[in-house]
Amino acid sequence: MKILVTNDDGIHAPGLWALAAQLTRAGEVVVCAPDREQSGTGTAITLHRRVRLTQVDSPLASVRAYSVEGTPGDSVLLALRMLEDVTMVFSGINRGANMGHDVLLSGTVGAALQGYFHGVPSVAISVEAGRAGESTNFEVAARLAPLLAARVNPNGAGPLLLNVNLPNLPLERIGGIDMTRVGTGGYSTAITMGRDGDSDDYRISIGKPRWSFEEGTDIHAVDRCRISITPLRGELSTAGETFLPEDLPSALFRDL
Ligand code: MN
């Protein structure tokens, strides 16, 4: 098994190396990750400039590492082009949960999506960030990764995209693992205004979470001190209530 490991917190993030180290139990590991923090970049790819890829020193003897001057999505695209026969992509371990609406903003999930789009079974893993003064515990998430790799059978039935979120707790305080659906709500964004010469400028930052705690969701599971595994797929259309008038297509077409 050849496993590509990437993230959106950047190649120096401790969560990335905790994940890579544990995955060496499951197979050959290659790290290819952004050269700096790229949180919030979703599935973005860099189209309008050249993207530099550099082989860098790896803290793990058996693991080759590459740094990319681009997004998590770029890292996966370039690695899949450079490497042959990647069996799985693992993205993370992100510092901070990626649940609810944040699944669509997350570079951690975005990198996994790029793997999935290319037919490679892909897993995003995130841990709730420690509160101020509290460290983030990557250990349980890292241990889970090779177990998942061994059990989900990368050559199995169909395309695979999993979004895994863990509470920031040691194993003895985690109650179990739930298969979940994506919840609603996410981190709010805070905007502060500044002034740069003649123009206004703004800083966008992450505020407090505004989560909805419906049962069966990723948010609910992690809130109950459980690990959440959400199977995703690339198709975003809704199967249920759309809140649109039933005659919308015919009325629109008539008025055209
Ligand atoms: Mn991140």
- Each residue's pLDDT, cut to its tens digit, for the chain (256 residues) gives 999 999 999 999 999 999 999 999 999 999 999 999 999 999 999 999 999 999 999 999 999 999 999 999 999 999 999 998 999 999 999 999 999 999 999 999 999 999 999 999 999 999 998 777 889 999 999 999 999 999 987 777 678 999 999 999 999 999 999 999 999 999 999 999 988 888 999 999 998 899 999 999 999 999 999 999 999 988 888 877 888 999 999 999 999 9
Kindly give the distance from the C-alpha atom of residue 72 to the centroid of ligand 1, in angstroms, as a whole number. 10
Q: How far is the CA of 147 from the centre of ligand 1 (A)?
A: 23
Is residue 6 in a domain? yes
Q: How far apart are CA 244 and CA 241, in angstroms?
A: 8
**Cβ atoms 108, 8 nearer than 8 A:** yes
Q: Is the bond into 93 cis (omega within 30 degrees of 0)?
A: yes
pLDDT of residue 122: 97
Residue 55 belongs to domain spanning:
2-185+212-255
Q: What are phi and psi of 71, to 5 degrees?
A: -90, 170
The total number of structural domains that make up the chain: 1
Any bridge partners for residue 197, and if so which? none
Q: How close is the Cα of 94 to the center of ligand 1, in Å?
A: 5
Residue 197 lies in a domain: no
Confidence (pLDDT) at 238:
80
Supply the pLDDT for residue 93.
Answer: 98
Is residue 136, in this structure, part of any structural domain at all?
yes
Cα 243 to averaged position of ligand 1 atoms, centre (Å): 33
Q: Is residue 72 part of a domain?
A: yes
Instruction: Output the CA 256–ligand 1 centroid distance in Å.
Output: 44
The alpha carbon of 108 and the centre of ligand 1 are apart by a number of angstroms equal to: 6
Asked if 75 and 65 touch (Cβ cutoff 8 Å), the reply is no
Question: Would residue 233 count as lying in a domain?
Answer: yes
Determine the distance separating the centroid of ligand 1 and the alpha carbon of 216, expressed in angstroms: 24
25 CA from centroid of ligand 1 (Å): 24
How far away, in angstroms, is 8 Cα from ligand 1 center? 5
For residue 107, being part of any structural domain is answered with yes
CATH of the domain at 122: 3.40.1210.10
Residue 166 · residue 227 · CB < 8 Å: yes
Question: What pLDDT, on the 0 to 100 scale, is given for residue 133?
Answer: 81
- What the block records as the tokens of 2 is 């050849």
The residue written with tokens 């194993």 in the block is 171
Residue-level pLDDT at 240 = 76
Q: Which residue has the tokens 């309008």?
A: 48
Question: Domain for residue 48, yes or no?
Answer: yes
What is the CA(255)–ligand 1 centre distance, in A? 46
Give domain status of residue 198, yes or no: no
Q: For residue 37, how far is its CA from the centre of ligand 1 (angstroms)?
A: 7
Note the pLDDT of residue 132: 78
Task: Please name which of 158, 50, 167, 38 lies closest in space to residue 107, comparing C-alpha atoms.
Answer: 38
Residue 168 φ then ψ, to 5°: -85, 75
Q: What separation in Å is there between the alpha carbon of 163 and the centre of ligand 1?
A: 14
